[in-house]
Amino acid sequence: MENNVQSRKWLLTFNNPEKYGFDHDNIKAALSTIKDVTYWCMCDEVGKEGTYHTHLFIFRKNTMRFSMIKNKFPTAHIDYCRGTTQENRDYIRKEGKHRGTDKEETNLPHTFEENGECPREEQGKRTDLNELYGMIKDGMSNFEILESNPGYMLKLDEIDTCRQVLRQEEFKNKFREVRTEYWYGQTGRGKTRTVMETFGYENVYRVTDYQHPFDNYKGQDIMVFDEFRSSLKVQDMLNFLDGYPLDLPCRYNNKTACFTKVFIISNIGLKEQYVDIQRNYEETWKAFLRRIGGVKVFNKDGVLSFPTVHDFLYSYIPEDNWVKVDKDAELLPWMEEDKQDGNVQMKLDLEKGEEKKDG
């Protein structure tokens, strides 16, 4: 099970608990270190094979991560809990539908302990909706919610709508500090994979359909514009790369922008993007460059990293001939050239968007 999985309910099984230092007293001591546990219960059993074990059920109003539970109880087998809290209590005590089964015979009822009041949960009642709302606010994914309660599969559309409302509220008055990098190089150099594996696949939204780029966006913090070739209007890109509150256009319902890291990934160099804009709308091109925080070039020898666009513009990259005046003076008309000892020096003030020339 992934370490970042969350749930309000967990069921733990301790095989040979005393052998591994988890008798009831030690279990209760570990439980006391988990903040705001609403209810727990545990009971011992002897399995058909003679294995002595303890079942522990934990419920908390706020979700608990698998990694946290595993850290508290490293030798336990840990499972999602399905069903209501009462149903899980019945399982621990072997009551309700478990009474009269083979499982009841293995239970040791005199070892049962519990703490807190067992919450009453009824499908479709207000308490059930409150629990669902809490799961959404805690950032649980649809998969985690369904694992916690499969009955919510009929409410997935409402769950997504609720998430969008919460994101709108969170970001409507918040400026996001957005960091954008431009990565380019030949196919197969590991550009996209580097981003995905650095930040985690589930945290990255990858734009590949430039007709409907944001239809499947789910609030990820990392935005990747993959295989980018002037694929969106430059006016739109200026908005996407800014940190102001923004609704991303979608076919059905717009999505609230939550991302703070952007990677523009391409097989072509930065100077090959928006060539017509460079020639005809100098200020717009400079505004685009100002939004890019760094550049990486992936080539056969490795990766060249430039912390700022300024560093990149003043660098010589053999396969790009970036400072070759015949080519670049045409593509970048606002850059003035000063020839000294045969070297071309281009000056660009990206911060103010003004041309400067060294005497």
Tens of pLDDT, residues 71-105: 999 999 999 887 788 999 999 998 888 776 666 56
Q: Are 16 and 52 in contact (CB under 8 A)?
A: yes
Q: Are 88 and 81 in contact (CB under 8 A)?
A: yes
* Same domain assignment for residues 197 and 101: no
Q: What pLDDT, in 10s, does the model give residues 6-23?
A: 888 899 999 999 999 999
Last residue of a domain, one of 125, 149, 169: 169
d(CA 138, CA 55): 26
Q: Can you say whether the dihedral through the CA atoms of 337, 338, 344, 350 is positive or negative? A: negative
Least confident of 105-109, 166-170, 290-294: 105-109
What is the DSSP code string of 105-135? HHEEEEEEEEES------TTSHHHHHHHHHH
Per-chain mean pLDDT for the chain? 84
* Same domain assignment for residues 343 and 197: yes
* Same domain assignment for residues 162 and 273: no
Top mean-pLDDT range of 62-66, 72-76, 299-303, 314-318? 72-76
| Cα separation values, 180 from 227, 236, 262, 264, Å | 16, 15, 5, 7
Q: Establish if 162 belongs to a structural domain.
A: yes
Last residue of a domain, one of 169, 196, 231: 169
* Same domain assignment for residues 11 and 156: yes
Nearest to 348 by CA among 295, 265, 289, 301: 289
d(CA 291, CA 284): 11
Q: What is the mean pLDDT of residues 98-113?
A: 80
Phi, psi torsion values for 149, nearest 5 degrees: -155, 100
* Same domain assignment for residues 264 and 336: yes
User: Hey, what long-range contacts does 300-303 have (CB within 8 A, 24 or more apart)?
Assistant: 300/186
Q: Residue 339: its pLDDT value, please?
A: 31
Global confidence as pTM: 0.62
Tokens of 347: 């000056």
* Same domain assignment for residues 142 and 196: no
* Same domain assignment for residues 262 and 230: yes
* Same domain assignment for residues 155 and 300: no
Q: Are 119 and 38 in contact (CB under 8 A)?
A: yes
Nearest to 15 by CA among 71, 67, 78: 78
Q: Residue 135: its pLDDT value, please?
A: 83
Q: Establish if 219 belongs to a structural domain.
A: yes
Q: What is the mean pLDDT of residues 235-252?
A: 95
pLDDT at 343 over 50: no
Q: What pLDDT, in 10s, does the model give residues 149-207?
A: 888 999 999 999 999 999 999 999 999 999 999 999 988 889 999 999 999 999 999 99
pLDDT at 352 over 70: no
Tokens of 17: 């608990």
To which H or E segment does residue 28 belong?
Answer: helix 24-31
pLDDT at 332 over 50: no
pLDDT at 144 over 50: yes
Last residue of a domain, one of 120, 151, 169: 169
Question: 67 or 129: which carries more pLDDT confidence?
Answer: 67
- State the residue range of the domain holding 188: 179-347
Q: Establish if 174 belongs to a structural domain.
A: no
Nearest to 337 by CA among 351, 311, 310, 358: 358
Q: What is the mean pLDDT of residues 306-332?
A: 58
Question: Which residues neighbour 328 within 8 Å (Cβ) at sequence distance 6 or greater?
Answer: 271, 321, 322, 335, 346
* Same domain assignment for residues 183 and 110: no
Task: Provide the number of structural domains found in the chain.
Answer: 2
Q: Is 13 helix (H, G, I), strand (E, B) or coil?
A: strand
* Same domain assignment for residues 161 and 261: no
Q: Residue 318: its pLDDT value, please?
A: 55
Q: Establish if 352 belongs to a structural domain.
A: no
Beta strands in the chain (DSSP E): 6-15, 39-46, 52-65, 77-80, 107-115, 179-185, 204-207, 222-225, 247-248, 255-256, 261-266, 294-299, 302-306, 336-340, 343-347
pLDDT at 344 over 90: no
Q: Residue 103: its pLDDT value, please?
A: 64
Q: What is the pLDDT confidence band of residue 63, given thresholds at 50, 70 and 90?
A: confident
| CATH code where residue 81 lies | 3.40.1310.20
* Same domain assignment for residues 63 and 113: yes
Q: Residue 359: its pLDDT value, please?
A: 42
Q: Residue 285: its pLDDT value, please?
A: 94
d(CA 359, CA 345): 11
pLDDT at 330 over 80: no
How do strand 336-340 and strand 261-266 relate by DSSP bridges? Answer: unpaired
Q: Establish if 218 belongs to a structural domain.
A: yes
Q: pLDDT > 90: what percent of the chain?
A: 59
* Same domain assignment for residues 272 and 164: no
